[in-house]
Amino acid sequence: MGIGRNTQGARRPLPIFLAGSLSILVQTVLLRELMVVAHGTEMTLGFGLAAWLLGGAGGSLAAAGISGRIGGRRGLIACFIAVAVLALPCLAFLRAFKPLAGYLPGQGIWLGHMALLAFVVMSAPGLIFGAVYAFGVRFLEENAQGSPAGSAYWIEAAGYLAGGAAFTFFLAFKLTGAETLAAASALAIFSAAIPARTAAARVLGIGLSAAALAAALILGNALEIRTQAWSYPGYRIESVATSPYGQTTTAERHGQRDVFHNGHPAFHHPGVPAMAHEELAGWGLLYANRASDILLVGGPELLPILLGRKGRRVTYAEPDPGLVRAVRAASLKASDPVFLHPGLELALKDGRALIESSRQRYDLIIMSTPPPSTMALNRYYTEEFFRAAGKSLTEGGAIVLSLSGSQAAMDRNKARLNGAVFSALSAAMPRADIIPGETNILAGTMAGEPVPDSVLARRHRERGGSFRVFSGAHLSYRLAERDRREIEKEIKPEAAGRNRDLRPSALSAGTMLWQSVFSPGWARAYGFLARHSPWLWLLLAAGFFGPRLRHGGAAFTAGAASMGLQMLCLWGLQIRSGSLYHWVGLGNALFMAGTALGAWAYSTRSGVRSVGMLAWEIAFTLWALAFLMGQAFLEMPGPAYLACSAVTGTILGLEFPALVTGRAGERGISEGSAAGPVYAWDMAGGFFAALAMGVVIIPSWGMVPAAALMAGIKAVSLRWWIKG
């Protein structure tokens, strides 16, 4: 009997631990798939996490109301079964969404559809895992677990860390999204069997989970290919690969192979000579004094143009090995020897990291990256990047890039985008020029004087042997088309705001331009929120929550500040590493590991439990201010943002159980009854912060003002406790 009781006691926390692991697995896979559907934009994290937290708040409230009637054990079993049933259909809906909504393969989606998709896919799993917490507290309470609210919190969060680490360092490299969610369904069935009352039920559940896991491993790849095909109707999917930088899909139709990277068309073969490609390569070759050593960042279609003359050495920088393999395979299948050219060097490294770390100097740097529609892409259009590029150029070297322009007057958003990037280029390089047209060419040179038109024409005759459409006549047309000084007046570089790493004015302008294409009305609404949402936030926190709701209000501000800081950590990690796709799971897991540490300390240390709420509030506010100072005055490396995620989670983990205990004592109710509402307030705050910070405030205001806002939000609730 003694052994049986010990075994049963050891099993009590396990379902809650596994729930945390399942939660981070499901959440991370769905967030990554959302990023693929939306071409890698970080705004999907704001929508996705907001939807998850909103579902969690609703699930926690609902479970708190019924857990007394149905019991924690049965509630947990029902939640695990729901996870097993729901995981794969959510993935299937994600991959079928674009064709159902009328989008073509490779076409971007607008923010309205992004929000709808995120809330449909993420809120239901969030609801289930929110209910798991309330049922878990009741389950531990039924089994006489000390401090059940704090214990459930830290046990579940420890599962987050284990699942996040396992996914980041193992599963993400071994299993596709479909395989991971199929394995998670098997784990959910196993988790449901653990709290079963009878040995027969446990044996049946374990057997079913083993069968489900075997099916996942055997059929998972076929399931991945089949569901990916839904996103590319009319194509035959040849391969799907994931890497730390995203998802690469090679699809074939009518003899042409298209390579999509995070859903965005990255390469076509066989292709046709595109004027945009030849112009970008051509203007670069004309602006550089020499054109022997060239660095190409992105744009493999430019390689045949640049390698068309003997003696040129081209370094092609692409950090994603999966994309390079797919592009090279598509070329070789079409008997295109460009990737076998002796003058080509492949650098499997982020182009910005290569420029910042390499001692090699180049005559010409060509940026053939997509426009700054994400923070990862914006890193290639900032003043900091252009300064680093200038140090890698030889005397008389040049850097060229292109942005969308217009042969007529540009609209406001397009002018802001060009102005923000041109302002950054002008601040970093001795000389910056813009050549107007349907595609604007921006060129920065190490020479202080402009390159005369006659020199450009002479270099075209000398270096233009591989051009097909960028002819001498076209060059003359472009030079005479409009006065370059007039375009600088039109884009108003200083008014647009200089594009910086932590103040991404080009990203804001690019987002507005992107939305205005889909819906001018939505773009105007987004612009209004971008200008005014911080003040609306402060008014909400300062005026809505009064002293009567101080435990719930403090939980709301704690959830808002912690999720806001976490969004800042994720965006900061993207800025410094350019690889949030891989690290999002670990970043969220470290945040939850911090909450596990804090809640564990509160549950097991009487000295920690004796600390008053005012002290926790002051500590939280001081940490938000410290984070603000770090953003304002330090250049934080990527790993520092991961550490900040853990610290933020720890402070939240210390304060949250104190709020539950305080509410229970004030209302004269059990912790099991108090935990659900406080958890719901906490997640509601997180919901608003994820939505506002991740979608509007960070891309529009930048990192430092956003960090200041989070410090202000947390300071608001101090007044409730100072007054006692």
Contacts of 317 (CB under 8 A, 6+ apart): 295, 296, 297, 298, 347, 349, 350, 351, 354
Question: Residue 266 is inside which H or E element, if any?
Answer: strand 264-269
Q: What is the pLDDT of residue 144?
A: 64
Q: Provide the percentage of residues in the chain whose pLDDT is more than 70.
A: 92
- pTM for this prediction: 0.85
- Looking at the structure, do residues 710 and 612 belong to the same domain, yes or no? yes
5 domain residue, yes or no: no
Same domain, 159 and 245: no
Q: Are 48 and 566 in contact (CB under 8 A)?
A: no
The tokens describing 284, both together, are: 């670069």
My answer on whether 392 and 465 are in the same domain is: yes
The whole domain housing 261 covers 236-265
- Say if residue 361 is in the same domain as residue 487: yes
State mean pLDDT over 90-107. 89
Interval 640-695: pLDDT, tens = 999 999 999 999 988 888 888 877 777 777 666 677 788 778 888 888 888 888 88
Q: What is the pLDDT of residue 10?
A: 43
Q: What is the pLDDT of residues 575-624, one digit of tens each?
A: 888 778 888 888 888 898 888 888 888 877 777 877 878 888 888 999 99
CA distance 685 to 682: 5
Asked whether the predicted pLDDT for residue 568 surpasses 90, the reply is yes
Residues 54 and 24 in one domain: yes
The larger pLDDT score, comparing residue 500 to residue 579, is at: 500
Residue 305, pLDDT > 60, answer yes
59-63, 173-177, 407-411: range with lowest mean pLDDT: 407-411
Is residue 377 one of the residues assigned to a domain? no
Domain total in the chain: 3
Give the CATH number for residue 469. Answer: 3.40.50.150
User: Residue 506 falls within a domain, yes or no?
Assistant: no
Mean pLDDT score, 467-489: 75
User: What is the average per-residue pLDDT within 502-513?
Assistant: 86
Give 377-402 pLDDT, tens digit per residue.
899 999 999 999 999 999 889 999 99
Give 158's pLDDT tier (boundaries 50, 70, 90): confident
Report, in this order, helix, strand and coil percent for the chain, each rounded to 5: 70, 10, 20
- Beta strands 362-367 and 264-269 are unpaired
Asked whether residue 448 falls in the same domain as residue 518, the answer is no
Percent of the chain scored above 90 by pLDDT? 17
Q: Does residue 192 share a domain with residue 54?
A: yes
Q: What pLDDT is recorded for position 425? A: 94
Do 146 and 176 share a structural domain?
A: yes
pLDDT 10s digits, 127-138: 999 888 888 888
Residue 591 and residue 473 in one domain = no
Query: How big is the chain by its Cα radius of gyration, in Å?
Result: 27
pLDDT number for residue 387: 94
Q: Specify if 4 maps to a domain.
A: no
Task: Kindly provide the b/e burial profile for residues 482-497, where b requires at least 16 CB atoms within 10 angstroms of the residue's own CB.
Answer: eeeeebbebbebeebb
Asked if 297 contacts 210 with a C-beta cutoff of 8 angstroms, the reply is: no
Model pLDDT, residue 138: 82
**Last-in-domain residue among 454, 469, 499:** 499
Q: Does 7 score more than 50 pLDDT?
A: no
User: Mean of the per-residue pLDDT values for the chain?
Assistant: 83
Could you tell me if residue 623 is inside a domain?
A: yes
Do 651 and 538 belong together in one domain? Answer: yes
Give CA separation, 523 vs 514, 529, 651, in Å: 8, 10, 37
CATH number reported for the structural domain that contains residue 72 in this entry: 1.20.1250
Is 86 among the domain residues?
yes
Please check whether residues 476 and 618 belong to one and the same domain. Answer: no
The residue out of 464, 499, 534 marking a domain boundary is 499
Q: What is the pLDDT of residue 145?
A: 60
Residue where one domain finishes, among candidates 499, 531, 551: 499
Q: At what angle do helices 177-193 and 199-231 cross, to 10 degrees?
A: 160
The pLDDT assigned to 155 comes to: 84
For residues 295 and 449, the model is more confident at: 295
Q: Is position 1 within any domain?
A: no
Write down the pLDDT at residue 547. Answer: 53
Q: Within this chain, do residues 479 and 604 fall inside the same structural domain, yes or no?
A: no
For residue 504, being part of any structural domain is answered with no
